[in-house]
A and B are shown apart, each in its own frame.
Chain A
Amino acid sequence: MDIKDFIAPFAVWKRAFEKPFTVNKPIDERPGAPRYRGFHINDSARCVGCGTCEAICMNKAIDLVPVDALKPDGGDSGLRPRVDYGRCCWCALCVDICPSGSLGMSNEYLWVDRDPEVFRYTPGVEAKPWDGAELGYRRADGYRLLEEERVDMPELDHHEAVKSFLELVRGYSRQQAEKEADRCVSCGVCVASCPAHMDIPGYIRAVREGDLEQGLRLLYETNPFPEACGRICTHLCEAACSIGSGRSADGTPTDPVAIRWLKRYIADQVELADYGKALPRAEAPTGRKVAIIGAGPGGLAAAYYLALLGHGVTVFEKDEAAGGMLRYGIPEYRLPYPALDKDIAWITSLGVRIRYGVAMGKDLTLVSLYGDYDAVFLSTGLTVAYKLDVPGDKHPRVLDGVAILAAATRGEPLGLGRKVAVVGGGNVAMDAARTALRSGAEVDIVYRRREVDMPADPEEIMEAKAEGAILIPQAIPLEVKPAEGPDAANKATFVWNLAEMVQKEPGKRPVPEPIPGAVVEKTYDSIIAAIGQGPDLSYVAEGDGIEIRRYKPVIGPDGRTSRATVFAGGDLTNDRKDAISAIADGHRAALAMDRLFAGKEA
């Protein structure tokens, strides 16, 4: 051992009084490279909280956390990614996968703090100096971890489609369905937006894995109309889909996963004869009996879930076939009858009895049902077509859109003539217009507001126009007059006033205001009114004990009316007025009735 070894520990003490070589911020003069993968940034307004970043992170450095200022809403979970820099390896996979493109990285890499807790934070929510940084890592244009392009659905050409009532949409092949299913990131943001809360990620996974029986099982957990909804659902899920929340390289919105078509694929691929292998059968009879009024989607959904639970169900239907508006309001080219019949056949296979041709109030009263059944579900829909409500609207050439669609279903001659006006902008109007086109008519769709205000599904509007219907927006109906000239007895003249949209009240939608002198007259063979429908509640008497407010039974959250054993749902009570909401109502009411029978009322 050397003498220095003894002296060195004492000699080093002199360093304690010298200026240190280390500094607090040694490299602050050296900015990160332009595409450096520094601290995360997140455009919180664009982020939908899907959690794809969390799922892909190999180091579990990202957690989705609730943010006080955000509420879950449709396509936004209300959650945002929190990054833990004790775990992050800066690989940027989270940025590359982010469906909305909200996540990026700044080129800032310097952050000094004595508190280790601060290095776990929520970008875009907790303010940082690098927020809004233009430099740093971004997903390169054209580079995608996720497949952006939706698999095209094979469809009939519109010019061909309009010549018949053949189904327009042909359906996916197995290869197409599996490829489309691959686009889903299983974030589940869609589930909350579906009125029936279907397990969408679950059944899409089943498509991907080729397990269609599992897919069918998941569909039927909350929806016994997969064939119908796989074709005509308003697919709110797709509006919420995180894959549709991004922007393509050309700036257009990315396509959401084709959730509806994947649902249809599952139902189409499993034969009815094989449903029994996948789906549960009814439980042992409980001895309870339920009467359901109306065999539409709401009524039959309630019937299905009640039957599964072992309750005896009788459905009373005024028409000659089941399905309600799915059969009599939606044309065959959108929902072929065999597909609807398949859904109904499985429901009735559980022992659900349907009595056809029974009109409530005429053939049967509610009071008579009270004595014979333990509970009643009212799901009679909206069957009264509202009138144009302008002078002359009783002209024989003014027809009712719902009646036209029902006549088409029944195969009755429509007798619409060559020139047809359809008044209205909802789905009934679009279906009536497209039915008229298929009967060989030239069709004008006359709508009071702007195209953007039309309540019809955008794809229905687009298809009606593609098939040849002419849209006349901002046209206020004024009058129907007898026609003049040859064959006047079989025609009517429709008068409307062109309108400008005026924002009269803040926060409300603009109002169509007539442009003075801009009055248009045109003669048609038929004028189809499709401005809206209301319920026929003439079968509910005051003594029936059901509180009604403004032509709607008053119901609680589980569909119960003011009479404890009577429930109501579907278009009759809900404002969305679509099949999937009616199905959700029926399911909810069935579960509530089951609780009622079990003495477990909330």
Chain B
Amino acid sequence: MNQTDFAGALELALAREEAAVAFYEELLGMASFAAQKATLKEFRLMEEGHVAMVQSMQTKGRVNLSPDAAVDLGLARRLAAEEKPAAGMSYQQILSAAIKKEERSGDLYRDLAAAAVDGEIHLVFERLAAEESRHKHYFEELYENEVSRDN
């Protein structure tokens, strides 16, 4: 994969979104009850939407993403959830894993943007990073409102 050109950058983004789908798919395989499965299916569906979005950008040959990064609520930096949740995973563990995953994707795109020589490729990765920040923000808000209600 050559991430120094436009097609390569989008190919990388597509691979990451497909990996995210696979991530939730794997968790779904471990899930044992309806609440876990419903949540994981919802999150997988969101990632499938992102796959479709990147494929659309590949087809159209342009990145139609907002450059505005979402506000960082700061959870990703301090949450402990590096490990992969297991069969009895709670809502907290699922959300925590989702936040961490979005954070890692955002970090990667930011690094690639910084490393990009080509201005257009730099822009592509910046916008992908902004998109990931919005995804992360979505999960952080869920965590704040539904898990960490008392803190």
Contacts and interface: CB of A to CB of B under 8 A. Distances in A.
Q: Contact residue range for chain A?
A: 35 or more
A513 interface: yes
Interface in A408-423: 423
A447 interface: yes
A540 B73 contact: no
A532 B96 CA distance: 14
A546 B34 contact: yes
Contact of A535 (B35, B37, B88, B96): B35
A426 interface: yes
Given A531-B151, A549-B42, A393 B37 contact: no
A310 B146 CA distance: 38
B74 interface: yes
B80 A390 contact: yes
A504 B133 CA distance: 14
Interface string B60-89: 000000000001011000111100000010
A448 B92 contact: no
B38 A423 contact: no
A535 B37 CA distance: 15
Q: Contact residue range for chain B?
A: 20 to 34
Contact of A550 (B42, B74, B81): B42
B23 interface: no
Nearest to A542: B34
Contacts, number: 104
Contacts of B78: 390, 476-478
A320 B18 CA distance: 48
B150 A424 contact: yes
Contact of B92 (A387, A476, A530, A539): A387
A383 to B, nearest CB: 11
Chain A CB count within 10 A is highest, among B32, B73, B90, for: B90
A476 B149 CA distance: 14
Contacts of A389: 79-81, 92, 96
Contact of A542 (B37, B42, B96, B149): B37
Contact of B147 (A530, A534, A541): A534
B150 A538 contact: no
Interface in A450-497: 455-456, 476-478
Contacts of B148: 386, 448, 531-532
B39 interface: yes
A514 interface: yes
Nearest to B146: A550
Interface string B117-151: 00000000000000000000000001000111111
Contact of B150 (A428, A504, A548): A428
Contact of A504 (B32, B35, B71): B71
A41 interface: no
A505 interface: yes
B38 A447 contact: no
Nearest to B31: A542
Nearest to A392: B80
B150 A429 contact: yes
Contact of B39 (A447, A478, A540, A550): A550
Given A387-B92, A390-B80, A514-B74, A540 B34 contact: yes
A549 B91 CA distance: 11
Contacts of B151: 423-426, 447-449, 477, 530-532
B74 A538 contact: no
Contacts of A391: 80
A596 interface: no
Contacts of A390: 78-80
Interface in A521-579: 530-532, 534-535, 537-542, 544, 546-551
A542 to B, nearest CB: 5
Interface in B79-113: 79-81, 88, 90-92, 96
A551 B35 contact: yes
Contact of B90 (A384, A539, A544): A384
B34 A537 contact: yes
A135 interface: no
B25 to A, nearest CB: 16
A538 B33 CA distance: 5
A539 B32 CA distance: 10
Contacts of A477: 78, 151
Contacts of B32: 538
Contact of B33 (A429, A448, A539, A547): A539
A511 interface: yes
Contacts of A448: 148, 151
A541 B150 contact: no
B80 A426 contact: no
A198 to B, nearest CB: 26
A386 B143 CA distance: 11
A511 B146 CA distance: 16
Contact of A534 (B74, B88, B92, B142): B92
17 contacts: A384-B90, A447-B151, A476-B78, A477-B151, A511-B74, A530-B150, A531-B148, A531-B149, A532-B146, A532-B149, A534-B146, A535-B35, A537-B33, A541-B33, A542-B33, A548-B38, A551-B146
Interface of A: 361, 384, 386-393, 423-426, 428-429, 447-449, 455-456, 476-478, 504-505, 511-514, 530-532, 534-535, 537-542, 544, 546-551
